[in-house]
Homo-oligomer: A and B are copies of this chain.
Amino acid sequence: MSDQTTPRKKIVLVGASGTLGRAVLTALRERGHEVVTASRKDADIALDITDPASVAELYRQVGRVDAVASAAGTVPWKRLGELAAEDVRDGFEGKVLSQVELVRQGLSSVAENGSFTLITGILAREPIRTGAVASLANGAVESFVRAAAIELPREQRINAVSPTVFEESLDAYGDFFPGFDPVPVRRAAAAYVRSIEGHQTGQIYRVE
């Protein structure tokens, strides 16, 4: 191939401090990209993704970027019979609207041919108990990604990374995923590289 060198991209990584976010940060820097991190704490830019004004401030500070990668999202974990309506709203605000805002407000900041990569997860298709809101949120984001892909301006692209439980998270969450085959988090990080450097759009990259 004549064009083997990937051009260095400027990438905003949201949620760089978690297990997945750290792995994505490492993978993107190893690929030579300039990564600006945005998180509630310990990041280049302070960001509360559930606050649209904070998202607006992120884009004001960061300027034009080639890619936005999200590894952030929080949902409540409760049994169905214990869920309050407010829990369902919290999950929507914490993982769905927050990521939709990154896209909606990022339309004018992301370069031509630039990309958005959002995070979902296996619970969209394989439920576990206490995970109803997580499932709901993941399913919402995956369908949104497919839909946004056919409406993005200036050949922008959008994909989602939808991993199963990570080997690195088994101590904390393993009991919730009996018999699920865990993956090393670097495989999920590689899916972000694939989304950002590749040319597909509207894809849900299942890492399982």
Give residues in A with beta carbon < 8 Å to B.
52, 79-81, 83, 85, 88-89, 92, 96-97, 100-101, 104, 107, 123-125, 127-129, 131-132, 134-144, 146-153, 202
Least Cβ distance of A119 to chain B in Å? 15
Given contacts A80-B148, A125-B146, A129-B150, contact A96 B140 (CB under 8 A): yes
Least Cβ distance of A76 to chain B in Å? 13
User: Taking the full assembly, how many copies of this chain does it contain?
Assistant: 2
Find chain B residues with CB under 8 A from A142 CB: 139
Find chain B residues with CB under 8 A from A137 CB: 140
Given contacts A80-B152, A81-B107, contact A127 B147 (CB under 8 A): yes
Find chain B residues with CB under 8 A from A131 CB: 147
Least Cβ distance of A58 to chain B in Å? 15
Given contacts A92-B92, A151-B81, contact A139 B135 (CB under 8 A): no
Return 18 A-B CB contacts under 8 Å, by A number: A80-B147, A80-B148, A85-B101, A88-B97, A89-B97, A125-B143, A125-B146, A127-B143, A131-B147, A132-B144, A132-B147, A135-B143, A136-B147, A137-B140, A139-B139, A139-B141, A139-B142, A139-B144
Contact A136 B129 (CB under 8 A): no
Q: Select from chain B the residue with minimum beta-carbon distance to A105.
A: B85
Given contacts A81-B107, A83-B104, A125-B143, contact A151 B136 (CB under 8 A): no
A148 partner, pick from B128, B132, B153, beta carbons under 8 A: B132
Find chain B residues with CB under 8 A from A125 CB: 143, 146
